Amino acid sequence: MSSSSNPTSAAYKHAIKELGLKSNIASTLEMPDRELTVEVPFRRDNGEMDSVIGFRVQHNNTRGPFKGGIRYHQHVDIEEVRSLATLMTWKTSLLDIPYGGGKGGIGVDPSKYSKTELERMSRNFFRAIDPIIGVNIDIPAPDVNTNAQVMSWFMDEYSQTHGYTPAIVTGKPLELGGSEGREAATGRGTAVITRETADKWGVDLKNSKVVIQGFGNVGSYAAKFLHEYGCKIIGVSDVTGGLYDPDGLDVPSLFEHNSQNRTIDGFNQGKKISNDELLALECDFMIPAALGSAINKSNVDSLNCKVIIEAANGPVTGDAANKLWDRKIGIIPDILTNAGGVTVSYFEWVQNLQQFKWTEDDVNEKLETKMVQAFNEVFELREKNNVPMRIASFMVAIDRVHKAYALRQG
Ligand code: NAD
């Protein structure tokens, strides 16, 4: 992706300039600390040996252990993992969580393998990266196509050689030291950020009109909490298409329907619309919660909202973001909006280290405090420097890493 269409690298450069950091510091902070590529041999169910390639990139640990998910996808390669690891450094710093950034993955289509094959592959991958991970070194988590079951295999594999160690991964099932509130955390954080945005942008939250693209983990929980705040969710979509009701959809019933069917398709309320029509709906908040680059050159002119709340990672391309800035449509960036997930992952790790379980109310209250604090810091800087929220977010994040770096190296 060129830097004009990659919002992260453009934002990094802009933030560095605003902060007045020298180019040698900029390149030091941008460069990953360590990149590991491993071959992962494993036995197929028919007895034959097979192998796949896995990666773990440790971008920066100035403020704490490397932290980030492990993704299983046929498009995973070292460049993608590197850029996601970098983003984790800025996300954890922005939320002031004592972590750095990392990411991992295996370049594989997991749907082509049985559960027992995936288990052998996962265990062997974790053994292969064992020399560079640890509770105070690098703590993996789930990402695309990995889940609580994969984390259980990782944790079990690690515990066989290091003793019972739940804190080595987050995103575990509750029975193995997972945290209350983790499943809903990213959607809850998204709703909190939308609420704070409404306040600053002068939108009456109750009765505000919200559109959500993607109704998976993040989109469905964001819809649930925003509905509880009194917002009207007038449009939602998933991979099968969208639903629209100008008076607001019955979100609790839709949430239930989606939990049972894993799709909004077949829900008996609202007019069926396409994903393109959904993006063009007139609303206060447009929340892309599905794919990267969903809002791009080809559809940005059709948008008719006050603010875009980036719940997905990288849903607005750099070119589209420039056009939206000209039209005075706000963008609340991904590293702020969807940071609820990594924040509760951090709470999970803290609970594991303390060997003590918090209640769901404890978790939600602490999450809310973290999200509001980060939002306010970013908003203040936006006002002070007259920059978009994305640039202000990167400035807060980079400044915090840079200060820690200067103290450690100085
Ligand atoms: P998910 O797989 O649970 O849900 C994705 C949703 O998007 C599904 O409803 C799917 O049908 C829909 N979708 C897919 N293609 C679509 C298309 N072309 N048009 C419209 N909808 C489409 O994923 P998720 O966990 O909810 O993650 C969503 C986004 O949020 C991703 O970008 C992810 O990287 C990001 N994110 C998730 C978390 C988390 O904790 N789950 C944390 C940070 C960021």
Residue 410: band (very low, low, confident or very high) from pLDDT cuts 50, 70, 90? confident
Provide the pairing of β-strand 209-213 with 304-309: unpaired
Q: Mean pLDDT score of the chain, rounded to an integer?
A: 96
Q: Which of 381, 368, 222 is nearest to 286 (CA)?
A: 222
Q: Whose CA is nearest to atom 3 of ligand 1?
A: 216
β-strand partners of 307: 285, 330
Percent of the chain with pLDDT over 90: 96
Q: Whose CA is nearest to atom 40 of ligand 1?
A: 341
Q: Which residues contact 255 (CB under 8 A, 6 or more apart)?
A: 220, 223, 224
Q: Whose CA is nearest to atom 19 of ligand 1?
A: 239
**CA-CA distance, 33 to 138, in Å (whole number)?**
12
Find out whether the beta carbon of 312 lies less than 6 Å from any atom of ligand 1. yes
- CA distances to 222, 245, 409 from 219, rounded to whole Å, are 5, 17, 42
Find out whether the beta carbon of 221 lies less than 6 Å from any atom of ligand 1. no
Residue 6: band (very low, low, confident or very high) from pLDDT cuts 50, 70, 90? low
Tens of pLDDT, residue by residue over 202-245, are 999 998 999 999 999 999 999 999 999 999 999 999 999 999 99
Q: Whose CA is nearest to atom 18 of ligand 1?
A: 239
**What confidence score (pLDDT) does residue 3 get?**
41
Question: Of 67, 91, 103, 232, which residue is the catalytic one?
Answer: 103
Q: How far is the CA of 294 from the centre of ligand 1 (A)?
A: 11
What ligand 1 atom has the least distance to the C-alpha of 218? Answer: 26
Q: Which of 159, 133, 129, 132 is nearest to 40 (CA)?
A: 129
**What confidence score (pLDDT) does residue 115 get?**
98
Tens of pLDDT, residue by residue over 246-283, are 999 999 999 999 999 999 999 999 999 999 999 999 99
Residue 2: band (very low, low, confident or very high) from pLDDT cuts 50, 70, 90? very low
Residue 7: band (very low, low, confident or very high) from pLDDT cuts 50, 70, 90? low
Sign of the CA dihedral with 135 first, then 36, 150, and 256 last: positive
What ligand 1 atom has the least distance to the C-alpha of 313? Answer: 32
Q: Sheet with 66-72: list strands edge to edge.
A: 34-43, 49-60, 101-106, 66-72, 138-142
**What confidence score (pLDDT) does residue 4 get?**
43
**CA-CA distance, 183 to 195, in Å (whole number)?**
20
Find out whether the beta carbon of 152 lies less than 6 Å from any atom of ligand 1. no
Q: Which of 322, 348, 338, 355 is nearest to 393 (CA)?
A: 338
What ligand 1 atom has the least distance to the C-alpha of 292? Answer: 32
Residue 8: band (very low, low, confident or very high) from pLDDT cuts 50, 70, 90? confident
Domain 185-337 classification at class level: alpha beta
Give first-to-last CA distance, the chain, whole Å: 35
Mean pLDDT of 333-352: 98
The structure tokens 């939206």 sit at 324
**What confidence score (pLDDT) does residue 35 get?**
98
Tell me whether domains 33-168 and 185-337 share a fold.
yes
**Residue 172 appears among annotated catalytic residues:** no
Q: Quick check: 16 pLDDT over 50?
A: yes
Q: Quick check: 1 pLDDT over 70?
A: no
**What confidence score (pLDDT) does residue 139 get?**
98
What's the burial of 40, exposed, middle or buried (CB within 10 Å: 0-12/13-18/19+)? buried
Q: Quick check: 349 pLDDT over 90?
A: yes
Domain ranges of the chain: 33-168, 185-337
Superfamily covering domain 33-168? Leucine Dehydrogenase, chain A, domain 1 (3.40.50.10860)
Find out whether the beta carbon of 288 lies less than 6 Å from any atom of ligand 1. no
Find out whether the beta carbon of 338 lies less than 6 Å from any atom of ligand 1. yes
Q: Quick check: 371 pLDDT over 80?
A: yes
Find out whether the beta carbon of 215 lies less than 6 Å from any atom of ligand 1. yes
